[in-house]
Structure 1
Amino acid sequence: MVRMVVGTAETRLVHLRGNSASGKSSIAAGIRERFGRGLALVGQDNLRRIVLREHDRPGGANIGLIDTVARYGLDAGYHVVLEGILYADRYGQMLQQLRADHRGHTHCYYLDVPFIETLARHATKPIADEVDENQLREWYRPLDLLPGSIETVIDADSLRTDTVDRIMHDTDLARLPAREH
């Protein structure tokens, strides 16, 4: 396979994975808010559910779209936070290839939230009336980690602000300048 290098030595790629209601979107938004301009959010839900209106299935078109959008952002000099459930068996190959192709620093995180906490958090979400406990149970995969121990596991008891602080520090985004325009 031909390697398609992407980004620059300075770009940061952050994978944020975890089950539904684990806090991925909230943490990604916190990172962007803290960093400022120059950081792209690539959300699985937005690309899969909104842009394509596609069910999550093996070989889905969203997998390539997520990869393309992340690569485009990195090549344009943006740091990229890629977030979603992103099941290891469906998205793992794409995520690992993107990580291998990225010239800059890539950091991978898995938000580990027990199912009972998932239920409590889900009840506060706008889609709570659309998705019931049985559906959540079908989606839930405990510690669905990528191979190779490349992900840092963050437990449910880590506060949003602490998790954002940790990722900002781990990735050096805390010391890098935002874009001015």
Structure 2
Amino acid sequence: MSVVILIRGNSGSGKTTVAKEIHHLLAPVSLYISQDVVRREMLKVKDLPNNLAIGLIAQILDYGMRHCDFVILEGILSENKYGEMLRNTLKQADKVFAYYYDLSFEETLRRHETKENTDFGEKEMRSWFTPHDTIGLENERIVDDEMTQEDMIQLVMKDLKLYKAN
């Protein structure tokens, strides 16, 4: 069984915190893949079209789907750069739960400002902000301004529980 939990959205929306907690709850049968870690730390490449991180994320996803019960992938993962790879690679999964944080810029900025160590601010975030960047996966769920991190964690765990029950 390979279940992929895909958590996407703009910078500062809370994706990483949620993904790490879900990974903790599903351990030791889960793999956590962070776009930021692969792109910025492992490869040190800019987030441009056709960057090296796209292929490496696809390979790590493939490995996870073959060897782990759950794969959690989180990141901005913009449609124009990662959409095709995600749609193609995720066809191999038994089940995909896709969540997209479609928050207002104001809410994204508010959440970002709660972080302790931030190396960028409103100006950079505004230049990166892309609203409504869904990738067209079946049952891709939209997360709005009202959903807290705890609500999101509960939603994902509830979805997994319902899937396992069937």
Larger Rg: 1
* Shift of residue 34, structure 1, vs aligned partner: 1.9
Deviations 1:39-72 (A, max 9, x none): 1111000000000011100000000011111111
Matched residue, 1:167: 156
CA distance in 2, matches of 1:165, 1:52: 33
* Shift of residue 100, structure 1, vs aligned partner: 1.3
Deviations 1:117-161 (A, max 9, x none): 222222233453x31322111110011111356410011211212
Matched residue, 1:131: 120
Say whether the 8 Å CA contact 2:31–2:68 is kept in structure 1. no
CA distance in 2, matches of 1:126, 1:68: 32
Q: As a proportion of its length, which structure holds more helix?
A: 2
> Which residue, 21, 27, 39 being the options, matches 1:36?
27
CA distance in 1, matches of 2:18, 2:59: 22
Which runs of 5 or more structure 1 residues have no equivalent in the other structure?
1-9, 177-181
Which runs of 5 or more structure 2 residues have no equivalent in the other structure?
none
CA RMSD, 1 decimal: 1.9
Say whether the 8 Å CA contact 1:111–1:154 is kept in structure 2. yes
Say whether the 8 Å CA contact 1:168–1:174 is kept in structure 2. no
> Which residue, 95, 113, 126 being the options, matches 2:103?
113
3-state SS of paired residue (2:31):
strand
CA distance in 2, matches of 1:33, 1:175: 18
Number of residue pairs the alignment of both structures matches: 165
Matched residue, 1:70: 61
CA distance in 2, matches of 1:173, 1:39: 18
TM normalised by structure 2 equals 0.91
3-state SS of paired residue (1:172):
helix
Please tell me whether residue 155 in structure 1 is matched to residue 133 in structure 2. no
Matched residue, 1:94: 85
Query: Taking every aligned residue pair, what percent have the same amino acid on both sides?
Result: 33
3-state SS of paired residue (2:6):
strand
CA distance in 1, matches of 2:9, 2:78: 8
3-state SS of paired residue (1:56):
coil
Please tell me whether residue 45 in structure 1 is matched to residue 36 in structure 2. yes
